């Protein structure tokens, strides 16, 4: 993954993908576009990072894929979140919030 403004912690890509797919069935390229759009261009996901992460999530049973026609009339794999994936997303989101709060406390520490 490449970020134009910040480096992401390991594992962050997967939670971003899970959240994006949880918004509704979507094909791979559109996942990268949506993350970039929602982050106001701060995050740019490269295909070399996106597709291996999608395969890992699919292997773990967090997402499922089916072939559908894309907006351009081509067949594309569309991903959706499974129940197991939704539970994992909630666990990851809670952990992310705890970690972000802890980092904020350290950064706000006064001498």
pLDDT in tens, 66-82: 998 877 888 989 999 99
CA dist 27 to 2, 9, 49, Å? 19, 24, 15
Place of tokens 């709060």: 101
**pLDDT value for 10:** 60
Q: What does the pLDDT average to over 96-107?
A: 95
Beta strands in the chain (DSSP E): 2-3, 26-27, 43-44, 63-69, 75-81
Residue 2 has pLDDT above 50, yes or no: no
Residue 5 banded pLDDT, cuts 50, 70, 90:
very low
| Residue 47 reports pLDDT greater than 60 | yes
Q: Is the pLDDT of residue 9 over 60?
A: no
- In the CATH scheme, what architecture does the domain 2-108 have? Orthogonal Bundle (1.10)
Bridge partners, 52 (sequence order): none
For the chain, helix, strand, coil in percent to 5 are: 55, 20, 25
Token pair for residue 92? 């990851």
Q: Is the pLDDT of residue 3 over 60?
A: no
- pTM (whole model) above 0.75: yes
Contact 67, 76 (CB under 8 A): yes
Mean per-residue pLDDT of the chain: 89
């Amino acid at each position: 993954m490449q970020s134009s403004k910040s480096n992401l912690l390991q594992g962050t890509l997967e939670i971003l993908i899970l959240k994006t797919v949880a918004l509704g069935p979507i094909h791979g390229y559109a996942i990268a576009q949506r993350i970039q759009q929602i982050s106001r261009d701060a995050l740019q996901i490269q295909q070399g990072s996106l597709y291996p992460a999608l395969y890992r999530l699919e292997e773990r049973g967090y997402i499922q894929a089916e072939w559908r026609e894309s907006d351009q009339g081509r067949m594309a794999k569309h991903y959706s979140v499974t129940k197991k994936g939704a539970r994992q997303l909630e666990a990851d989101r809670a952990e992310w919030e705890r970690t972000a709060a802890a980092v904020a406390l350290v950064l706000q520490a006064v001498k």
